[in-house]
Amino acid sequence: MSEGADWPVALRGVTESIVATLGPNDRWNQAALGLHAPDDDGPVTAVTWGKTRTRGNFERRGGGVIQFTTDPREFVDAALDVTETDEPVRSGAAAWVEVDARRIEAGEDGGTEWVRWALHPRTATVRERTVPTINRGFYAVVDATVAASRLDVPAFDTAALLDRLAYFADTVERCGGPAEREAFARVDELTGWRERRNESF
Percent of the chain with pLDDT over 90: 83
CATH code of 37's domain: 2.30.110.10
* Number of domain units in the chain: 2
| pLDDT tens profile 10-33 | 899 999 999 999 999 999 999 999
| pLDDT tens profile 131-144 | 667 789 999 999 99
Does the pLDDT value for residue 155 go beyond 90? no
pLDDT at 131: 67
Q: Is 99 in the same domain as 40?
A: yes
Residue 60 CA to residue 75 CA, distance in Å, equals 24
For Cα atoms 186, 192, 193, give the angle at the middle one, nearest 5 degrees.
100
In a domain, 201, yes or no: no
Question: Are the beta carbons of 85 and 28 closer than 8 angstroms?
Answer: yes
Range of the domain at 59: 2-126
Q: Is 109 in the same domain as 140?
A: no
Q: Number of C-alpha atoms within 13 angstroms, CB side, residue 165?
A: 26
Q: Is 116 in the same domain as 141?
A: no
Q: Is 69 in the same domain as 156?
A: no
In a domain, 181, yes or no: yes
Given 74, 93, 126, the domain boundary residue is 126
CATH code of 163's domain: 1.20.58
Q: Is 55 in the same domain as 19?
A: yes
For residues 130-157, give the mean pLDDT.
89
Alpha-helical regions (H) of the chain: 53-61, 72-80, 136-149, 158-175, 178-191, 193-200
**Predicted TM-score (pTM) of this structure:** 0.86
Which of 162, 33, 179, 49 lies closest to 97 in space, CA to CA?
33
| pLDDT tens profile 100-116 | 999 999 999 888 899 99
| pLDDT tens profile 39-76 | 888 999 999 999 999 999 999 999 999 999 989 999 99
